[in-house]
Amino acid sequence: MVLQEHLWREVEGRRRVDYTWTVRGTWDTEIEALLGRLTDEIRRNTNDTLVGLYVYGSLVTGDFDKDRSDIDLLAVVDSDVEGDTFRRLDRMHARFVEDHPAWEDRIEVAYVPDSALLNFRTQTDQIAVVSPGEPFHLKAAGKDWLMNWYMVREVGVTLCGPPPRVLIPEISQSEFVEAVREQAEVWKDWVYKMRAPGAQSYAVLTMCRALFTHTHGRQASKKQAALWARDYLPQWGPLIQQSLDWLSERGDEETGDEEGFYETVRFVHDVAGRITGTEEGALE
């Protein structure tokens, strides 16, 4: 079932946003309850350091599939996540998966100090992240997270705290598009790590979205961008369709065949060349 639209309203006298998600004309109480619990648990386990919590990604922009899509959250805190706070959050995320096994590897939360957001262009800071396929961990983040912060600032929905534009400095559309182009170049190396069919599909869909942004100057969902790219690049139509099918079905994650791997490599290099202007074409 796909979330078609979202509605939210701020409730007087409460510290969080009361939101109602509309799924094909019915109320999706599961998503409402899920986000409500995450909001309450994150507030409680950040030891009074939570400044704001925001949801973004496909749940907000469209093409969200409740049975398959991830939920993306940004939690802004007023200090580094370490020590007791890190351990509390780690246990909280483990309990959440135990209570909601269908959402295992489908919740991504970045815990980011407000100072790191303010200075992300000029310095690298430590953030804490739980994401699909990875445990709760610390990592360095700086300008390489610009695309995430742009999307939160532009379309993120506030679950608690001030609007995201209060905490995230202005990011121009041209900066965002340039960051997409830079990442497309990096994908020429990253793709060689994509041996599983799911990872290869992710690479294909990500590059379709990058090409869409490069062409149109704005972001689209992976599905929207892939449908466009399938027509725009008919020579790659079967591969793009295969990736779309994986997105819908989330099939086998075992290692794929070599032919499929090298076709994905050729596709990524072809599209990266179109985006960066090198026009190197697909690898032979």
State the Cα–Cα distance between residues 116 and 209, nearest whole angstrom.
Answer: 27
Single pTM value for the model? 0.85
CB atoms under 10 Å from CB of 141, counted, come to 20
Q: Round the average pLDDT of the chain to a whole number and report it.
A: 87
* Each residue's pLDDT tens digit, 89-124: 999 999 999 999 999 999 999 999 999 999 999 999
Q: CB under 8 Å to 274, separation ≥6 — which residues?
A: 211, 214
User: Is there a contact between 106 and 141 (Cβ–Cβ < 8 Å)?
Assistant: no
Q: Please, which pLDDT band fits residue 147 given cuts at 50, 70 and 90?
A: very high
Q: Read out DSSP for 155-206?
A: HPEEEESS-HHHHS----HHHHHHHHHHHHHHHHHHGGG--SHHHHHHHHHH
**What is the pLDDT at residue 280?**
56
Q: Show the tokens assigned to 79.
A: 């200090």
User: Is there a contact between 114 and 53 (Cβ–Cβ < 8 Å)?
Assistant: no
Region 122-151: mean pLDDT is 95
Q: How far apart, in Å, are the Cα atoms of 234 and each of 205, 215, 238, 248?
A: 15, 16, 8, 21
pLDDT at 16 over 70: no
